[in-house]
Structure 1
Amino acid sequence: MRRILLSFFSPLMILSCSLDDLPDDINQKSTDYDKEMRYLVEDISTYAKDINRHFLIVPQNGVELITTTTTTTGPVDETYLNATDGIAQEALFFGANGIVDEPTSTSETRRLQTYLDLAKDEGDRILITDFASIIRNVDDSYQDNEDAGYISFAADSEALDNIPPYPDEPFNVNSRDIDSLGEASNFINIINPRLYSTPEEFVDALSETNYDILIIDFFFNGETYTQEQIEQLKEKENGGRRLVLAYINIGEAQDYRYYWKSYWYNTPPEWLLGEVPGEPGNYYVKYWQQGWQKIIFGNDDSYIYMIVDAGFDGAYMDGIDAFEYFDSSDY
């Protein structure tokens, strides 16, 4: 855990202590939620890359963390960006308010792009998931993102549960071998396999596509993929090699995950808070506390270790914007 220095207005005494050692009321008041989320991403990156130096780290949303002040005019947090290989954002052009085909306001698009361009200028690849089903909107989404220098995916379902029928081939389809995010021209974000009956059916369907990057959940209905299935996913239908990233939520607990204990509903651990409104099964967590972080990374039983060990090329990390909840409430 990160450590802080507390001064009690005495020139004779400066106390160094861990956040976890502080009483709850002091801990809450002294926690910098923005920094703690940056620290979590950075620590996950260090841990994963120590196991596999080529492992990719891509946080989604919460792009305000790109600057040290979380404002568009603040200086770039180079330590944070050095820990990431890409930055992902949802609904940059389409999908406002979680509605497919709803255009994002020009002002919000510009605000988000200010952060995204700072990351792009530092060498991060920008991955945009827009939500569009009308052909005109799909075409505009791909073109607008390409004009901005980003790669994108136009999902026709908010659930991210299918391979869109349009376009017939991925935007800027190619048969190149993709060994880094910078070499990719497109991707698909399909983290919900609910329309598929078995892992084999899901893997076979994706294997018949030519996307440069696949973003999938680490589990299929609680079941992990075999090494053979992951290797199968890494090959495009046209023979080119591609990247496969595993989705993980590091800012919220989910009651359908392997780590969830049934007694937590009545007797939750200290770091587990209430259910996220509008997201059944998702719970706020004190992501800066050791109890939660031990679930996510740092040991052979952790979520990130399992993703790296399974052979995925990287982690696509959701829940990054959880800091906004803590910044705006007393929870």
Structure 2
Amino acid sequence: MIRILYTYPYKNDMKNLIFLISFIMIGINSLGIDEKAEMKNLILKIRDESPKNFIIIPQNGTNIYFQKKGEVDKELLGAVDGITQESLFYGYPKYGEKTPYEGKKSLLKNLKILKSLDKVIMTVNYTNSNYGKWRSKNLAEDNSFLNYCPKDREVTEIVEDVFGKNTEDITSLSHAKNFLYLLNPEKFRHRAKYIDVLSKTTYDVLIIDLYFKGIELTKDDLDKLRVKPQGGRRLIIGYFSVGEAEEYREYWKEEWDKKLPEWILYENKNWGGNYIVKYWSKEWRGIIEEMLIKYIDTGFDGVFLDTIDTYESFGKEE
């Protein structure tokens, strides 16, 4: 099919060039890769390779829980404990901005359905204004969602205002009344200080990275974090990007800086240093397995699966 196009008499015409590119992409798609199905398979694989009570919380990409006719994918939904959505009320298209109604309409519809099926819904709204935080909290509460508003887009600081503080033991995600979302502790100079400050927060759930400035947290670190200062145990969930490779991770190889391997496609233009991957590739699955083992062995109660909406990126790029 491509060979015929190359002999087209008007091959220098821009329309024909676009036509050619379209046919090439059709050819690529015809190889049988269903990106949505492959992301589902990856999540199911993580579930299968995790302990029985290990918590799994994917973020964004809510359409993955729905089949073509709008029916809920019960197999996938049964594999996760909670679902997180960014910028539902605030933070899209920019930090601090109120998300337009059209931008949240379908998301909110999906989340309400998933909530009705007993899934914990967690929203991360990017605003630091008093009104934005108040409004986000109330809108989340109206829908029985949990809510967190980071101080900045890079999520580098701890928000001290805790809504729904309690002394109960949190043994299941469904028991949680609040959560902390801290991805980049770069503002802390020393790990000991970072752990100390975290341990003094009163959140029911801590979503944090396995690493502090390239050094893995230990079981002792997690033990210090596991008990809330007001009493009661909490859950510690490890951040885990499954749709993008990050050049600052220990799995990143120096030679990739010069030439990316075939399964790493291109850099995310919105997040420097993050690269869209073929998450169905053998190489990436191997990295996922190794990372998952580390989270389990270190004592995390579960993993927070970010960038599952990467499956939507392929269509956008095309």
* TM-score (normalised: structure 1): 0.85
Aligned-pair distance for 1:237? 1.2
Corresponding residue for residue 228 of structure 2:
236
Corresponding residue for residue 217 of structure 1:
209
Compare 306-315 and 155-164 and name the one that shifted more.
155-164
The alignment partner of 2:232 has SS state of coil
Tell me the distance in 1 between the aligned counterparts of 2:159 and 2:38: 37
Establish whether residue 198 from structure 1 lines up as the match of residue 173 from structure 2.
no
Compare 204-213 and 28-37 and name the one that shifted more.
28-37
The alignment partner of 1:131 has SS state of coil
Establish whether residue 116 from structure 1 lines up as the match of residue 111 from structure 2.
yes
Residues 256-267 of structure 1 aligned to structure 2 (within 5 Å) = 256-267=248-259
Which of 156, 159, 167 is equivalent to 1:164? 159
Tell me which amino acid in the other structure corresponds to 2:154: A
- For residues 195-252 of structure 1, the C-alpha deviation after alignment (integer angstroms, 9 at most, x for no partner) is 1011111111011111000010111111011211101111111121100100010000
Identity of aligned residues (%): 35
Aligned-pair distance for 1:28? 6.0
Tell me the distance in 2 between the aligned counterparts of 1:325 and 1:94: 22
Corresponding residue for residue 52 of structure 2:
53
Corresponding residue for residue 6 of structure 1:
none
Establish whether residue 79 from structure 1 lines up as the match of residue 75 from structure 2.
yes
Aligned-pair distance for 1:79? 0.9
Tell me the distance in 2 between the aligned counterparts of 1:130 and 1:237: 26
Q: CA RMSD in A?
A: 1.6
Aligned-pair distance for 1:29? 3.6
1:27–1:106 distance in 2 versus 1, CA, 3 Å = closer
| Count of residue correspondences | 293
Tell me the distance in 2 between the aligned counterparts of 1:308 and 1:213: 17
Q: Which of these two proteins has the greater Rg computed from alpha carbons? A: 2
Tell me which amino acid in the other structure corresponds to 1:96: Y
Which of 86, 89, 109 is equivalent to 2:85? 89
Structure 2 segments unaligned to the other structure (5+ residues): 1-26
Corresponding residue for residue 17 of structure 1:
none
Establish whether residue 68 from structure 1 lines up as the match of residue 67 from structure 2.
yes
* TM-score (normalised: structure 2): 0.89
1:217–1:28 distance in 2 versus 1, CA, 3 Å = farther
Tell me which amino acid in the other structure corresponds to 2:131: R
Corresponding residue for residue 11 of structure 2:
none
Aligned-pair distance for 1:26? 5.7
Which of 261, 267, 274 is equivalent to 1:275? 267
Tell me the distance in 2 between the aligned counterparts of 1:160 and 1:67: 29
Tell me the distance in 2 between the aligned counterparts of 1:107 and 1:171: 28
Tell me the distance in 1 between the aligned counterparts of 2:277 and 2:308: 12
1:204–1:321 distance in 2 versus 1, CA, 3 Å = same
Q: Is the contact between residue 95 and residue 152 of structure 2 (CA under 8 Å) also seen in structure 1? A: no
The alignment partner of 1:253 has SS state of strand
Establish whether residue 175 from structure 1 lines up as the match of residue 170 from structure 2.
no
Q: Is the contact between residue 94 and residue 141 of structure 1 (CA under 8 Å) also seen in structure 2? A: yes
Structure 1 segments unaligned to the other structure (5+ residues): 1-24
Aligned-pair distance for 1:105? 1.3
Q: Is the contact between residue 66 and residue 118 of structure 1 (CA under 8 Å) also seen in structure 2? A: no
Aligned-pair distance for 1:140? 1.2
Compare 309-318 and 265-274 and name the one that shifted more.
265-274
Corresponding residue for residue 291 of structure 2:
303
- For residues 243-275 of structure 1, the C-alpha deviation after alignment (integer angstroms, 9 at most, x for no partner) is 010001000001110101000123332211111
Establish whether residue 34 from structure 1 lines up as the match of residue 36 from structure 2.
yes
Aligned-pair distance for 1:27? 6.9
Tell me which amino acid in the other structure corresponds to 1:249: S
The alignment partner of 1:57 has SS state of strand
Tell me which amino acid in the other structure corresponds to 1:198: H
Which of 301, 304, 311 is equivalent to 1:313? 301
Aligned-pair distance for 1:103? 0.6
Corresponding residue for residue 22 of structure 1:
none
Q: Is the contact between residue 36 and residue 288 of structure 1 (CA under 8 Å) also seen in structure 2? A: yes
The alignment partner of 2:276 has SS state of strand
